[in-house]
């Protein structure tokens, strides 16, 4: 393992532990939503982590199509796999939060629907990728697909602005019973959210993707070794 990757891995694990501490203990309990509001410190950063990963995947796709090194395809694949895991965390934690707060696991709200579509799109990426035998063709075609797929990420991000009827909160809302206006429900939201957001935006996806990239490298060298052994 390269030294830098080892350092990154350690930093990510420590950072994750620190943001968990901040979110679970340092921030105050939301007096309105109760303890479950703390899921938010994972839920929202996980989406932005997926955004980084899918964004890097888009970037890898563009580089492949621009005729750059074939290694960019490995980056795209790593981005899809890690991003899909993050998007899944985003969906799951959202559903678990919604159960006590909205009284339902799932609702066909525009934002939730588009997030689910995003997940399906990248799940389809992995399936489609497995359908190609020719690696060179696969590289080009999957790059095309990763560019198309990123449209669903953008739609998920901007759908609140396009379709304002969403019930998905921007941040903790006002009390349903409090007719006199809103109030400070939680203390230390930004204290817990900002570091977590930063971690999921940068360290988490980069470290995990690097590990995935190395795995793909090794897989390729295995395939080469197999071919060599067969031809001998």
Partner 1 sequence: MKTSYVAAVLAIAGKDLRVELRSRELLSLMLIFALLSILVFSFALELDRVAREEAVSGVLWVTLIFASLLGLNRSLAQEYDQGNLDALLLAPLSRTAIFIGKFAGNALFTGLVALLLLPLMTALYGKNMLDPRLVLTTLVGIAGFCALGTLMATLTVKTRAREALLPVAMMPLALPFLLTAVRATKGILTNATEWQAWFQLLAGVALIYLVLCLLLFRFVVEE
Partner 2 sequence: MTARLLKACALVFVLLLALGGAAAQDSVQTVPYLQTSGFNVPVLAGWDNQSTDAIAQFYSAEYKATIRAQIVALEDPPAAARTVLASWLDIETGPPVYNGKVNLADGTWHVLAFDINAATTASVMARRHGQGSVVISFVEAAPEARTMLLTLAQTDDALNTAAPEIDLALDPFAGVELAQLDDAGNIDMPSGQWQVYERPRLRALGMVFGNDSYIALQEGELGNLAALADAYNRTLLGFFVTPDNSLYLALGLAAAFAVLGLLVLSFFWRSRGIQQELALIETLTSDEE
Q: What three-state secondary structure class fits 187?
A: coil
**Is 65 a binder of partner 1 (CB under 8 A)?**
yes
x/- mask, partner 1, residues 156-195, rule CB under 8 A, reads: ------xx--------------------------------
By CB under 8 A, residue 141 contacts partner 1: yes
Residue number, 102 or 132, with CB nearest to partner 2:
102
- Helix/strand number for the chain, H first, E second: 7, 0
Q: With CB cut-offs between 5 and 8 Å by kind, which of partner 2, partner 1, none does residue 143 bind?
A: partner 1
Q: Which residues contact 73 (CB under 8 A, 6 or more apart)?
A: 60, 64, 139, 142, 143
- Name the minimum Å distance from CB 38 to partner 1: 31
Q: How far is the CB of 141 from partner 2 (least distance, A)?
A: 18
Of the candidates 138, 137, 120, 121, the residue with the CA atom closest to the CA atom of residue 129: 138
Written as six digits, the tokens of 152 are 């669903």
The correct pick among 12, 90, 121, 207 for binding partner 1 (CB under 8 A) is 121
Q: Supply φ then ψ for residue 17, to 5 degrees.
A: -60, -40
Provide the CA 185 distance to its chain's centre, in angstroms: 27
Q: DSSP for 17-39, please give it.
A: HHHHHIIIIISPPBTTTBGGGGG
What is the Cα–Cα distance from 50 to 204, expressed in whole angstroms? 10
Residue 131 binds what, of partner 2, partner 1, none (CB under 5 to 8 Å, by partner type)? Answer: partner 1
Choose among 232, 228, 210: nearest CA to 71: 210
Could you give the residue ranges of the DSSP H alpha helices within 131-182?
135-162
Q: Which residues bind partner 2 (CB under 8 A)?
A: 29-36, 38-39, 42-44, 46, 48, 51, 55, 58-59, 62-63, 66, 81-82, 85, 88-89, 92-93, 96-97, 99-100, 154, 157, 170-172, 174-184, 189-190, 193-194, 197, 201, 208, 211-212, 215, 218-219, 221-222, 225-226, 229, 232
Binding residues (CB under 8 A) for partner 1: these are 65, 110, 113-114, 117-118, 120-121, 123-125, 127-128, 131-134, 136-137, 140-141, 143-145, 147-149, 151-152, 155, 162-163
């Amino acid at each position: 393992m390269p030294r830098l990757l080892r350092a990154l891995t350690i930093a990510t694990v420590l950072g994750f532990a620190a943001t968990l501490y901040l979110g679970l203990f340092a921030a105050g309990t939301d007096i309105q939503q109760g303890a479950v509001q703390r899921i938010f410190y994972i839920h929202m950063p996980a989406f932005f982590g997926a955004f980084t990963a899918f964004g890097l995947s888009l970037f890898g796709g563009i580089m492949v199509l621009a005729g750059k090194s074939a290694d960019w395809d490995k980056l795209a694949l790593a981005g899809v796999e890690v991003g899909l895991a993050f998007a899944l965390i985003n969906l799951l934690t959202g559903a678990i939060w919604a159960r006590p707060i909205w009284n339902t696991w799932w609702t066909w709200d525009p934002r939730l629907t588009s997030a689910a579509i995003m997940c399906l799109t990248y799940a389809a990426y992995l399936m489609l990728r497995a359908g190609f035998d020719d690696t060179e063709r696969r590289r080009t075609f999957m790059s095309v697909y990763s560019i198309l797929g990123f449209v669903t990420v953008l739609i998920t991000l901007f759908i609140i602005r396009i379709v304002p009827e969403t019930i998905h909160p921007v941040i903790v809302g006002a009390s349903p019973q409090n007719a006199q206006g809103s109030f400070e429900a939680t203390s230390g939201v930004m204290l817990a959210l900002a570091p977590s957001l930063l971690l999921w935006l940068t360290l988490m996806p980069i470290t995990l993707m690097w590990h995935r990239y190395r795995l793909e490298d090794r897989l390729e060298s295995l395939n080469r070794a197999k071919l060599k052994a067969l031809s001998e």
